[in-house]
Structure 1
Amino acid sequence: MGRVSKAQAQENRQHVLATASRMFREKGTAVSIADLMKAVGLTHGAFYKQFASKEDLVDEAIAHAFDKEAGHSPVEPEEHAEEHEAARRKLVEDYLSVWHRDHAGDGCPVSGFAADLGREPDQAARSRQVYINGVRNRAARLATGDDGMAQLCTMVGALVLARATRGNPISEELLQAARTALNENTKREPH
């Protein structure tokens, strides 16, 4: 077997990152290197040519997930209030959808990595700033200050609970209850 070119090595690395980011959000960071590399179609040994450790991969996979997701950028200052509210409502609807519940691997890294970062303090310390920035940016897409944080907490909590109860009618009830609460609160409180 011949050597891999630098361009091919970089392409392989990006493929590993994208796959790891998806698999970690879907199944948690306990996914083994062997399973990850099998999904990518590369050897276990190829992993160590690209990454120093699994912890380094997890850090980079979290950063990759936030870089990829355009919805995690802060609200543009020139965005008008009506446009912002329409964008916020769409974000709420998409976030609290059955599709998002069922496709964690392609979903929001805030909810996708929350449990693992909460359970793994060493990993959390390594990835903390990327994650914190992602949380702040997602909250800023919803509203300013505490209101954006509260809305994000409602969305992430409802999504995590809906995923945990998938297959039971309560799962969709949770999503609907959160959508209703978030939309009714904004009718009463101007931004």
Structure 2
Amino acid sequence: MARASRAVASQHKAAIEAASAKLIRERGPHAVSVAEIMANAGLTHGGFYGHFASKDDLVAVACRRAFEEGDQRWDRRIAGAGGDRQTARRALVAAYLTPAHRDHAAEGCAASALAADVAREDADKPVRPVYREGLSALIDKWLSTAPADLPEAEARRRALVEVSAMAGALMLARATTGDPLSEAILDATRAWLLGEDAAEAAPEPSPAG
């Protein structure tokens, strides 16, 4: 019985984490209540504190989960390239800078979805180090697509610039959704990263980066 209870508690905790990871990416942590998160997880409000000490604690856990989901998506795209770094890079860019990703923040990249909210959090909030760790891991993943003969320092410099360009472009595209400028930002950034004309760098239909 105790083992079954632990299993159920673990399932409930995972459901809360999954629901919160989507909701905070979609609307930001301060626009989502604990009651909403629990309802989306299919649970009652009263059960929250059996799993998390505070909402701040949950936001940090949700942030980590959101980055882990993105990391898994990137792993799949890199693996699909069969070891070809250039193909992997193209796959990541093509999936990231799309109208579909722009319009589905709940399933998308945590780096872009949460940047503005995390920046407003106090320095001692638990989400701050979690976000930094997630972003650092994302940059390291991007480094794996750099040309093999590129010096390490140059590869890292480029990775910092290019990940910043992708995340920043997505944030600006979301802020201008509904205006032609939004897709122009995505097209121009994608073309720049791929070294192509904007008309040639067609996006892949994907809701998540």
Residue 38 (structure 1) aligns with: 39
Distance 1:71 1:135, change over 3 A: farther
TM-score by length of 2: 0.77
Residue 188 (structure 1) aligns with: none
Residue 28 (structure 2) aligns with: 28
Residue 131 (structure 2) aligns with: 131
Task: Give the secondary-structure state (helix, strand or coil) at the position aligned to 1:64.
Answer: helix
In structure 2, how many angstroms separate the alpha carbons of the residues matched to 1:85 and 1:47? 45
Q: CA deviation at 1:8?
A: 1.2
TM-score by length of 1: 0.84
Task: Give the secondary-structure state (helix, strand or coil) at the position aligned to 2:195.
Answer: helix
Structure 1 portions without partners, runs of 5+: 186-191
1:158-186 deviation per Cα after TM superposition (whole angstroms, max 9, x unaligned): 1001111111111111100100111128x
Q: CA deviation at 1:72?
A: 5.7
Residue 189 (structure 1) aligns with: none
Residue 157 (structure 1) aligns with: 168
In structure 2, how many angstroms separate the alpha carbons of the residues matched to 1:72 and 1:120? 27
In structure 1, how many angstroms separate the alpha carbons of the residues matched to 2:189 and 2:62? 29
Q: Letter of the aligned partner of 1:107 in structure 2?
A: G
In structure 1, how many angstroms separate the alpha carbons of the residues matched to 2:180 and 2:171? 15
In structure 2, how many angstroms separate the alpha carbons of the residues matched to 1:57 and 1:131? 13
Structure 1 moving runs of 4+ over 4 Å: none
1:61-94 deviation per Cα after TM superposition (whole angstroms, max 9, x unaligned): 1111122331466x89xx85xx111111110111
In structure 2, how many angstroms separate the alpha carbons of the residues matched to 1:33 and 1:72? 30
Residue 141 (structure 2) aligns with: 141
Q: CA deviation at 1:37?
A: 1.4
RMSD of aligned alpha carbons? 2.1
Q: Letter of the aligned partner of 2:138 in structure 1?
A: R
Q: Counting helix residues as a fraction of each chain, which structure ranks higher? A: 1
Q: CA deviation at 1:53?
A: 0.3
Q: Which one is further off, 128-137 or 50-59?
A: 128-137
In structure 2, how many angstroms separate the alpha carbons of the residues matched to 1:68 and 1:156? 16
Pair 1:177 & 2:188 matched:
yes
Q: CA deviation at 1:17?
A: 0.2
Q: Letter of the aligned partner of 1:173 in structure 2?
A: A
1:14-67 deviation per Cα after TM superposition (whole angstroms, max 9, x unaligned): 000001001000000011111111222211111111111000001111111122
Q: Letter of the aligned partner of 1:170 in structure 2?
A: L
In structure 1, how many angstroms separate the alpha carbons of the residues matched to 2:11 and 2:87? 38
Structure 2 portions without partners, runs of 5+: 147-154, 197-209
Q: Percent identity?
A: 40
Residue 122 (structure 2) aligns with: 121
Task: Give the secondary-structure state (helix, strand or coil) at the position aligned to 2:57.
Answer: helix
